[in-house]
Amino acid sequence: MSLGYYLDYHVSTDAVTWDNRNLGMTLEPSNVKFLNSTWYLTGSDGVYKTNDPVTAWTSLDATLKNTHINDIAYSADTNRYVLAGQDKLYSFIGNGKPEVVYTDNSVPNFYRVTYGDGVYIATTYMDGEATKIYRSTDGLSWAQVYTTNRGQAIFDIAYGNHVFVAVGEAGQAYVSNDGISWTKATVLNYNGMGLASVTYAAGKFYTVSTNERVASSRNGVNWLEEWSQVSSSIDFADISIGGGRAVAVGYDNLTYDGHIKSAPVPVVNSVTVSPTSATVVQGGTEQLTVTVDV
């Protein structure tokens, strides 16, 4: 599924042929995610959901109407959702009612939120301001753990293989294994360029930028450019990996036409888990290391 800036979105079953559709509602969308077998659409009028994006969308909760929600995250371990929007973070379990769990009046805009390894991470964004990173282990109690430099704000964050990776302005990536300590790295050859989005799939993190640039990394620190067209006026805004294909969406910075581009991604040859055998008692945990060969 590809999301347009206002009311248009596009649906495809093969990432090659796309069906153009309209939301049919007054909403400026901010993000779309597929969580727990459900599509969630966040934006200027709360959160909408559907099990089939070809059919109608329904409001997640009436109390969120007229509330700008930027993003949503989900923990399958606890069945808990977290919403990020404006100066607030919300949380709810299952089909429960979203409730405000954290407010920071000094924060202009909670922009992105993700979950992994028992940890929620939320980031802020406001043009010209530094980004603040917040951490929570239960989705209820939050603490600020990191602040970027001004001019190096974060646009997006993803989790994969026990690592959080955030990307943003000036070609900067931010990496953490625990969500507390963060290491900053510059994506090779992308210094000074905005990294619009990041996702994790098939053992790699992928990020996109101007001139159809796509870069990948196994650890979030060392990056390799996968594709670019330096003469292109198309700036990629987002990327997703699925069904053996990478789909990047963006716009032409001269004509402002929207574009969807798709390409095959490497096939996963093998997955190695260490230790090969692990015993976990009820209520306990065990950390495994996964190596993906592509």
| DSSP symbol at 148 | P
Q: Any residues with CB less than 8 A from the CB of 186 and at least 6 apart, and which?
A: 170, 171, 172, 173
List of domains in the chain = 2-266 (2.120.10.30)
**CB-CB contact of 90 with 110 (8 Å):** no
pTM over 0.85: no
Dihedral sign for Cα 52, 54, 60, 62, please. negative
Task: Please give the chain's pLDDT, 294 residues, in tens.
Answer: 445 544 555 455 554 555 555 555 667 778 888 899 998 889 899 998 988 766 778 999 999 999 999 999 999 999 999 999 999 999 999 999 999 999 998 887 999 999 999 999 999 999 989 999 999 999 999 999 999 999 999 999 999 999 999 999 999 999 999 999 999 999 988 888 999 999 999 899 999 888 888 899 999 999 999 888 888 888 777 777 766 767 776 778 888 776 666 676 655 555 667 777 766 655 556 666 666 555
- What is the bridge-based pairing of β-strands 245-252 and 258-264? antiparallel
Phi and psi for 83 in degrees, rounded to 5?
Answer: -110, 145
